[in-house]
Amino acid sequence: MTKKKRVIRELIWFFSTITGGIVLSLMFYDIINVDIDLAVMTAGVVATLIAVYVIRITLWVFKKNM
């Protein structure tokens, strides 16, 4: 895979994760009746980004070990 394709793939993952984080945050915050402001939304997106990349790194390590 060329570097350009890898960068494009990572950017797609990144922006898809941000979009998914916003959607999930809005759904969960609505369920638990939290007032939504910029700080709360940012925290939800950051938590989603961290979770997705921890899972991706973990899967990558297991794939390399097998």
14-61 tens-digit pLDDT: 888 888 888 888 888 888 888 888 888 888 888 888 988 899 889 888
The residue among 15, 16, 40 whose CA lies nearest residue 29 is: 40
Q: Whole-prediction pTM value?
A: 0.70
Query: What per-residue confidence (pLDDT) applies to 1?
Result: 67
Residue 10 CB coordination number (10 Å): 10
**37: containing domain:** 3-65
Calpha distance 63→11 (Å, rounded): 22
Q: Residue 25 burial (CB < 10 Å; 0-12/13-18/19+)? A: buried
What's the number of domains the chain is made of? 1
Query: What per-residue confidence (pLDDT) applies to 42?
Result: 85
